Amino acid sequence: MPKVTLTKPFIERATCDPDKAKVDYFDTEQRGFMLEVRRSGGKTFYQRYTDERGRERQYKIGPADALTLDQARKKARVILAQALLGADPQARRRELREIPTLSELVRDRYLPHVKAYKRSWRTDETVFRVHILPVLGSRPMDEITGDAIADLIQRMRDKGYASGTTNRVLILMRFIFNLARKWKIPGVRDNPTYGLNTAPDVQRDRFLTPEETKRLIASINVDENRTAAQTIMLLLLTGARRNEVSHAKWEYVDWERRTLLVPVSKTGKPRAIALNGRAMALLRSIPRQGDNPYIFPSPVTGKPSPSLHFPWTRIKQRAILDDLRLHDLRHSFASFLVNEGVSLYVVQGLLGHTQPRTTQRYAHLAQETLNQAAEVAATVIASSADPGSPAPSANLNTVPASGVAS
């Protein structure tokens, strides 16, 4: 362990004997400060110190080709001072190394955790992969701040993302930080989402009119992808959710009771979808493909298609319904029923809503139907008060109706 006065010229010309792997030059001016010179030519500054248990430790400061001598000396003094005050300079470095990045936490802890119980874990994975990780994934957990999350959400809003999407990002970040605190992940002490509020969720109510329904059905009937077209038609006829139909199996159809079983619905419980006459006729018209259990298998994989995006885009554009979402078929199904006077309680059962308030979004449609019916009564009463006026028909079937025939 040669001792020298470390200077810039000495550092530049210092070498290691070819028969040794490295040599340590200890500084005569600063206790424990040293330069390691390796046979390969690499040179690194270190500071040796004794911890509070009397054990000798060595702290790597950095390479001599990246740090000046003065910079290395200053860092070495800080390390030595910490050791003299009873702190372990290596502890903070070890702690920092143990702090995972957001991407590492999602991959190693979060996804394995939610896969075990959360049916919508694929949605979480998509939100992380598409929206969150490209921006925050490389950051260690202790460097993700509330401002960084707020900035991400604002940028999404600037790009035109709906409040439902940005709210999902915020809720997901809040959830993963709460789990990280519960799991005692290094570097996570607080939840940076505290103080950030979700935006008001704009509830979109898009219902098909009778004329739009005719155009949509005509477009479905001529589409070249018959499997996708039949899937979309059954969605329109039943008001079911996409996966409830696209993942349906022949064994789920009860031909006598006219129902389609959903073994595990969105609520986590089984439910039965009521099948009207046209839905039953559609199912009977579909030929079974050998021993394939699925009603609507992909012609390529034989399994349910993960998405109906491309055929649905083609069908709605041909029907001149560019703003229509696939999920709007479910809303339209409910509107058809309510406009025909079906009670919200029955609609709740047909849609598989567990909470009445979920079905209440269609309450205004029921009120409109009642108001129209009340106008018929008003017309009858008015004509009775005027003996000279011919009595109009009081047929309540004159109330405008919209829907798909069953």
Per-residue model confidence as pLDDT tens digits over 149-204: 999 999 999 998 888 889 999 999 999 999 999 999 998 999 999 999 988 766 66
What pLDDT does 173 receive? 97
**Three-class SS state of 207:** coil
Query: What is the 8-class DSSP label of residue 399?
Result: S
| Other Cβ atoms within 10 Å of 7 Cβ, number | 11
Is the separation of the CB atoms in 29 and 37 below 8 Å?
Answer: no
- pLDDT score at 100: 94
- Alpha-carbon gap, residue 68 to 62, rounded angstroms: 10
Alpha-carbon torsion, ordered 391, 392, 395, 401, to 10 deg: -160
- 224/311 Cα distance (integer angstroms): 9
pLDDT of residue 397: 42
* Helix H or strand E encompassing 387: none
CB of 70 within 8 A of CB of 118? no
Please tell me whether the overall predicted TM-score, pTM, comes out greater than 0.85 for this model. Answer: no
* pLDDT of 388: 57
Confirm if 383 and 392 have CB atoms less than 8 A apart: yes
Give the pLDDT of residue 306. Answer: 76
Residue-level pLDDT at 251: 94
Residue length of the chain: 406
Q: Give the model's pLDDT for residue 378.
A: 75
Residue 138 near residue 103 (C-beta atoms within 8 A): yes
Please list the pLDDT of the chain residue by residue as tens digits (406 residues).
789 999 999 999 999 988 999 999 999 999 899 999 999 999 999 999 887 777 888 899 999 999 999 999 999 999 888 888 777 777 767 777 889 999 999 999 999 999 988 878 888 999 999 999 999 999 999 999 999 999 999 999 999 888 888 999 999 999 999 999 999 999 899 999 999 998 876 666 788 888 999 999 999 999 999 999 999 999 999 888 888 899 999 999 999 999 999 888 777 788 898 899 999 999 999 999 889 999 999 888 888 887 888 999 999 999 999 989 888 898 888 888 887 888 778 888 888 887 777 777 777 776 776 677 677 777 777 777 665 555 444 443 433 444 454 4
Angstrom distance (rounded) from CA 264 to CA 352: 12
Rounded to the nearest 10 degrees, the angle between the axes of helix 210-221 and helix 226-238 is 150
Q: What pLDDT, on the 0 to 100 scale, is given for residue 148?
A: 96
